[in-house]
Homo-oligomer: A and B are copies of this chain.
C-alpha cells in the first residue's frame, strides 16, 4: 500500500471522481460538469489521480477519456485482508489482555499471558 493512494482519495472532489468513474469512463468535461467544478480543477485532480496510478487516460481526438485502473483497488482489497480479523474473529484473547492491563496496575509480578 502506497500512501499516495490514500492521499489521492482523501480529497473530496477526487473521491467523487473515482465514484463517478466506477460506473463508466468519462471525459474531463463530463467530470467537471457532473461535479460542478471548473475544468482546470478537474484536470488538476485527474492529474493527481493519474500520478497516483488510480486512473488511466486514453486520447480521443482532443478529448481525454479517464477510466479507473484496477491495481490500486485490488491492492487496497488485499491490504484489508489482514484487518478482517478485527470484525471476523471473536477477539476474546485481546479483550482479555486489555482487561488484565487495566486491572493490573503494576504488571511486574503477575504475568497472565
Contact = CB atoms under 8 A, between A and B. Distances in A.
A94 to B, nearest CB: 7
Contacts of A25: 94, 97-98
Given A76-B80, A80-B77, A102 B58 contact: yes
A74 B76 CA distance: 12
Interface string A80-111: 10111011000000100110011001000000
Contacts of A87: 70, 73-74
Interface of A: 1, 3, 6-7, 9-12, 15, 22, 24-25, 58-61, 65, 67-70, 73-74, 76-77, 80, 82-84, 86-87, 94, 97-98, 101-102, 105
10 contacts: A3-B9, A3-B15, A6-B15, A10-B10, A22-B83, A25-B98, A59-B102, A60-B105, A73-B86, A77-B77
